[in-house]
Structure 1
Amino acid sequence: MNFLPVLRNLVSSYQAFDRYSAPHIKSLGLTMTQFEVIATLGNQLPMSCKQLGEKTLVTKGTLTGVLERLEAKGLIHRQVNTEDARSQLIGLTPSGQTLFEKVFPEHLQYLNEAFKKLAPDELKQLDKSLKLLRDIF
């Protein structure tokens, strides 16, 4: 079981990323999940809840509550899906798009401060290794 150290490093790396990223997201007035939804919907056509869940990796139960709160804040809107009347399409309101245009680049810049510590070839190798690991599963 020589993969256990890799597994431990993977989990601890994600936890360290979360500890680094989450406080900044919170300082922007959002939860991590709200940020994920806004970042996914930004500059995109409205999408179904299923598509949004797949792109954000947020469970349906969690997504429902997050969407309700974002809708109450006037950041997203729902419309009937003309291709499938059983589902709704979710998109950003003008206020949501304005928020996206503020918080998304700001958070990317914040993350860049950490990622710029890696050389370009290290970043490329890390990306390749993570894709390989994902594909294995």
Structure 2
Amino acid sequence: MIDKRNISDDFLEMLFLLRHRIFRHISIPLPINQFVVLCILTDEGSMTFSEIGKRLSIIKQQLSPIINKLEENNLVKRLPDSKDRRRIKIQMTPKGRKFITEHQNKIKAHLETNLSVLSEKEIEEFGKSLKTLMKLFGKISLS
């Protein structure tokens, strides 16, 4: 029988390893909550406060200071929703897109450098495993 608890434990361990082995070595000049909002907007495009809050599991009052700081740094802007002017959409600015692209490239370069400790066979296996994970994550939701 498949032990789903072990799978979830292994998943959390993998997230910890990613953070410890990759992300902690890369300097990001933003608090993580602001960086995550930019990442979400990169994936989803413009979103309302409610949509972002739901993705982060935080309330609007907690999200407002995060968006305010991103807006002060010209990384996002607020726009009225074209369908309902009472709703505000948050959209990344060109500066925000450039910021995310630069930091994604730093993460990729760091990972590529660290892959050099693996053999060609291990790198190939790692790549296949990532493709499998992406396929499976496409089928499940962690919300």
Q: TM-score, normalised by structure 1?
A: 0.69
Between the aligned partners of 2:8 and 2:43, the Cα distance in structure 1 is 35
Percentage of identical aligned residues: 20
Q: Which amino acid aligns with 2:56?
A: V
Larger CA Rg, structure 1 vs 2: 2
* Residue matched to 2:10: 9
Between the aligned partners of 2:123 and 2:107, the Cα distance in structure 1 is 17
Structure 1: runs of 5 or more not aligned: none
Q: CA deviation at 1:74?
A: 2.2
2:128 maps to which of 118, 121, 126: 121
Q: CA deviation at 1:80?
A: 1.2
64-73 vs 120-129, greater mean Cα deviation:
120-129
Say if 1:24 and 1:107, in contact at 8 Å, map to a contact too. Answer: no
Q: What is the 5 A alignment of 1:15-54?
A: 15-24=16-25, 27-42=27-42, 45-53=45-53
Secondary structure (helix, strand or coil) at the match of 1:85 reads coil
Q: Deviations over 1:83-111 (max 9, x none)?
A: 11231111123432332332232223334
Structure 2: runs of 5 or more not aligned: 116-121
> Does 2:60 match 1:59?
no
Q: Which amino acid aligns with 1:49?
A: F
41-50 vs 118-127, greater mean Cα deviation:
41-50
Over 6 Å off, 4+ runs:
none
Secondary structure (helix, strand or coil) at the match of 2:90 reads strand
Secondary structure (helix, strand or coil) at the match of 2:95 reads helix
Q: Deviations over 1:23-44 (max 9, x none)?
A: 245x120233322222333497
What is the RMSD of the two structures over their aligned residues, measured on CA atoms? Answer: 3.4
Q: CA deviation at 1:78?
A: 0.5
Say if 1:53 and 1:63, in contact at 8 Å, map to a contact too. Answer: yes
Cα distance change on mapping 1:17 and 1:47 into 2, 3 Å? same
Between the aligned partners of 1:59 and 1:31, the Cα distance in structure 2 is 17
Aligned residues: 133
* Residue matched to 1:68: 68
Q: CA deviation at 1:114?
A: 5.9
